[in-house]
Chains A and B, each alone.
Chain A
């Protein structure tokens, strides 16, 4: 199994929920306030980290044509959440590292991905990224870059997207904190509730959230990444093809379990399992218990998931296992469950 030699480029990793309540209505429920307080702790940690960049992968920014990378230097807007519009308007003005965005895009393309940068006034930056940046980087002290989550992509493409970020960091000599915007279980209540009565939507969601938290508290990032398909089946509403954020995070931080995990907070927000979690590279590893998927370096494109011609079946090969990037070891093909 190849190990990603990226630990010097990523100082810390964070898992942050993207719902608006901690920003707009923190006192509607004591749990929302606790999440807000946890965001503030993350803000302090990031300020102390001396990171050059906040690198965000948001599950709340879906894309179709490959991946999109935000590159507008100072995007500004009055955002209203499409679900919780009654909670108010969020004015934001962000600071984006456009140069890094271009560099990230260059490396994504070089690794066979379809991607592009986005720099249009009024582009709808996703609520989750805005909420997170308002809370962890309110003064824009550190520039950010945000990358979308492609609705059709699966593990290989997402892992390669993470590795492209590492290549860009290395080229620019930057150190970053990596952030994924994602809830654990993502099932909201289907009917309107009094925020005071908020709870995790189901016992099953609760059990899976606790399992994920248990892993991450022990620093077992790659184990959680490799459980992503099962998490998708068990604890996620199927809005997209798969549960991808931990694939990206482990590819960016290094696909192993040598982390110190910290659960800052875990609370229900409108039924979802919303957790604020930190991961810091460490010397000691938890045991690697769940590894069975591989770590491709390149993405070789369309897998024709709906075109089941005999030709495409016969020629199927989702990954390139030669021409190694960054001198890493050879890879096996994988992902054939996508056919």
Chain B
């Protein structure tokens, strides 16, 4: 493998899974050196939630972050990043005034190829992405930054197949369950200790206009109350350790709230983790231009150990003070 030393043949494991939404506003508000636009503040509840989740992950030994991103949308199969090193500028297509981020990412190609191979065995259509000029989607970058702003762990990124638009949400659930099981099997074969990242919001109805000051928090709220009620329903199931019930509800939830669960990340992750029956740690909930976002983690007790070299601060450790313009 090009990016990591050879791993031992011991069985790999999923050591944690995180629901890690990707509004570019969070990176914008952190003012990291990688991002060109500067902010005064904003979306602190979600940023502090991420800080809490980074602290938790720093106690979990892991080799790789495996992300499923709705903003690498593919229509023909599931695609998997498989180029060792990707470095470029990511400009958000919807919020270019907030997110122009220089990234430098290492990819765990060996794990990517293993996931691809297992999927092929199971007749799940997959394709490796091996073009070195490829620009990594901003969902992956925002989630990757908020989890690990130093980018000192390799990633694997899976695209989100648009099966829900092509067929329906039940077919999406079925595909994501197959993909989750295949991901788990591949991680075990690879010997890696992996953290899974489902990169998406919950309810997903945006405001269609923006305030003059994007970080004006006096204007930030959920788009409407019914979305909020649905988000709380899902979060309560997470907190109660009822992950199977939560996943069963995803088609209805998605339909009622135009939720970004439509991309399949949460279903994929819960299946790969065999539907945890312990409570998720809900680090925080907040809205971003009207959409509902929860930062939550599932980690079995056995995963927690001594702190690793994982970066725990997003802006501060990167040499930029938070809250200054």
Contacts and interface: CB of A to CB of B under 8 A. Distances in A.
Interface residues of A, number: 37
Nearest to A307: B224
A91 to B, nearest CB: 9
A64 interface: yes
Interface stretch (B46-54, B205-213, B275-283, B312-320): B205-213
Contacts, number: 99
Interface string A180-195: 0000000111111000
B152 interface: no
A189 B89 contact: no
Given A89-B131, A191-B77, A307-B224, A66 B208 contact: yes
A121 B88 CA distance: 12
Interface string B165-206: 110000000000000000000000000000000000000011
Contacts of B93: 61-63, 123-124
**Interface SS of A by simple majority:** loop
A120 B205 CA distance: 26
B254 interface: no
The 10 A-B pairs of least Cβ separation, nearest first, read A89-B133, A122-B89, A85-B131, A80-B134, A188-B75, A122-B91, A120-B96, A78-B133, A123-B91, A114-B209
B74 A82 contact: yes
A186 to B, nearest CB: 9
A239 B206 contact: no
B209 A237 contact: no
A118 B96 CA distance: 8
Contacts of B306: none
B45 interface: no
A239 B165 contact: yes
Nearest to B100: A120
7 contacts: A64-B208, A80-B133, A86-B131, A122-B89, A123-B91, A191-B77, A306-B205
Interface in A78-133: 78-80, 82-83, 85-86, 88-89, 114, 118, 120-124
B150 to A, nearest CB: 23
A270 interface: yes
B135 A302 contact: no
Contacts of A233: none
Interface of A: 61-66, 78-80, 82-83, 85-86, 88-89, 114, 118, 120-124, 150, 152, 187-192, 237-239, 270, 302, 306-307
A270 to B, nearest CB: 7
Which among A83, A191, A239 has the highest number of chain B CB atoms within 10 Å?
A: A83
A66 B162 contact: no
Contacts of A123: 91, 93, 96
Nearest to B96: A120
Interface of B: 72-77, 79, 89-91, 93-97, 100, 125, 127, 129-131, 133-135, 137, 159, 162-163, 165-166, 205-210, 223-224, 226-227
Contacts of B130: 85-86
A122 B133 CA distance: 13
A85 B224 CA distance: 39
Given A65-B210, A78-B133, A83 B74 contact: yes
Contacts of B162: 237, 239
A250 to B, nearest CB: 24
A189 B162 CA distance: 12
Nearest to B138: A124
Which among B74, B76, B206 has the highest number of chain A CB atoms within 10 Å?
A: B76
A124 B165 contact: no
Contacts of A78: 133
B76 A114 contact: no
B206 A64 contact: yes
Contacts of B159: 82
